[in-house]
Amino acid sequence: MADREQVRHLEGMAVEMRRNLLRLALSFDGPVHLGGDMSMTELLIALYHYGMNVDPADIRAAERDRFILSKGHGAVGMYIAMALRGFYEFDDILATYGQFGSAYGMHPCRTQLPALESSTGSLGHGLPIAVGLAFAARQRKQTHRVFTLIGDGESCEGSIWEAANTAGSYGLGNLVGVVDFNKQLMTNLNGNTMNLEPFADKWRAFRWNTIEVDGHDMAAICDVLDNLPPADGNRPTMIVAHTIKGKGVSFMERSIAWHANNLNQEFFDIAMAEIDAAAAKLEGAVA
């Protein structure tokens, strides 16, 4: 069980992750997927710093939990969450992101970064790969879990539902999905294009143990991770995390313009001031 101090520590990590996202977006001369990075910040911090058994000092440990970022365009968010956990140096990411020859591309590459389980970026593939890894682990009688984080827009891909049915049919209790359910796609709101509702019930219909949570409530996310059913059970788990795209920066929240965008100094200063103010409020509430 995460105690108050642990939750506070994780919330502080989430603040640092948002600050680093802004720093990177300011220094990079091109668009960064800030909207979806900000919406999954608490989820990635909770997974990498609390829920998953991973060790930066032993990236191929047989018993490690596996993680695949299925919404691969959120690579920057994953790099930063992993850097805070000790996998990478944030300064390296900042200095080289998106440049020719850099290990840190707009989409994650396993050849460049062996701590990853898979390259991703073409939506709809991460969950199917995670299903394969979970199935293989079962065959080999391994006890680790396989986690994957998918996008709600990504769930428009047919391959997601083929994988959903496969995992439910084979009873892959060692598979844990998380959906960053921010209700936005790249250029529109979900409701205006593909209707995903009733979203959580769709996972239930495919025989997934489905849990809904506020994806920005660190204590609630930890509670869900604490209470995952045993990995040798017969139902995969889907955590439907209700989130806000661009969370934490008022002009980015729910704005289509900030799916991916360039951040200039003026907007950086406003955004950073908002993150700092929220952090100060958090510290005030704890003191």
Considering only residues 64 through 83, tell me which ones interact with ligand TPP, judged by CB under 6 A: 71, 73
User: How big is the site for ligand TPP, counted in residues (CB under 6 A)?
Assistant: 20
CB of 208 to ligand TPP, least distance (A): 18
Residue 282: Cβ-neighbour burial (10 angstroms; 0-12, 13-18, 19+): middle
Return the axis-axis angle of helices 4-27 and 75-85, rounded to nearest 10°.
Answer: 130
Q: Which is nearer to ligand TPP, 192 or 234 (CB)?
A: 192
Radius of gyration for the chain, computed over Cα atoms and rounded to the nearest angstrom: 18
Q: Which is nearer to ligand TPP, 185 or 218 (CB)?
A: 185
Please name which of 76, 82, 132 lies closest in space to residue 102, comparing C-alpha atoms.
Answer: 76
Q: Which is nearer to ligand TPP, 33 or 49 (CB)?
A: 33
CB of 154 to ligand TPP, least distance (A): 4
Exactly one of 66, 85, 245, 247 binds ligand TPP (CB under 6 A); which one?
245
Residue 182 interacting with ligand TPP (CB under 6 A): yes
Residue 31 gets which letter from DSSP?
Answer: -
Token pair for 58: 């032993």
Considering only residues 113 through 172, tell me which ones interact with ligand TPP, judged by CB under 6 A: 121-124, 151-154
Which listed range, 5-13, 23-31, 176-184, 261-269, lies at the site for ligand TPP (CB under 6 A)?
A: 176-184
Token pair for 178: 């998380």
Q: Which is nearer to ligand TPP, 20 or 41 (CB)?
A: 41
CB of 152 to ligand TPP, least distance (A): 5
Q: How many CB atoms lie within 10 A of CB 165?
A: 15
Q: Which residues of 16-35 are buried (b: 16+ CB within 10 A; e: fewer)?
A: bbbbbbbbbbbebeeebbbb
Q: Which is nearer to ligand TPP, 2 or 32 (CB)?
A: 32
Helix (H/G/I), strand (E/B), else coil: 80: helix
Residue 247 interacting with ligand TPP (CB under 6 A): no
CA gap 208, 169 in Å, rounded: 10
Position of minimal CB gap to ligand TPP: 151
Our CA angle for 42, 188, 148, nearest 5°, is 35
Token pair for 164: 């959903």
Residue 186 interacting with ligand TPP (CB under 6 A): yes
Q: What are phi and psi of 101, to 5 degrees?
A: 90, -10
CB of 280 to ligand TPP, least distance (A): 28
Q: What are phi and psi of 133, to 5 degrees?
A: -65, -40
Q: Which is nearer to ligand TPP, 77 or 236 (CB)?
A: 77
CA gap 194, 46 in Å, rounded: 29
Which listed range, 19-27, 32-40, 47-55, 198-206, lies at the site for ligand TPP (CB under 6 A)?
A: 32-40
Q: Which is nearer to ligand TPP, 56 or 198 (CB)?
A: 198
Residue 202 interacting with ligand TPP (CB under 6 A): no
Residue 256 interacting with ligand TPP (CB under 6 A): no
* Residues lying near ligand TPP in the complex (CB under 6 A): 33, 35-36, 39, 71, 73, 121-124, 151-154, 180, 182, 184-186, 245
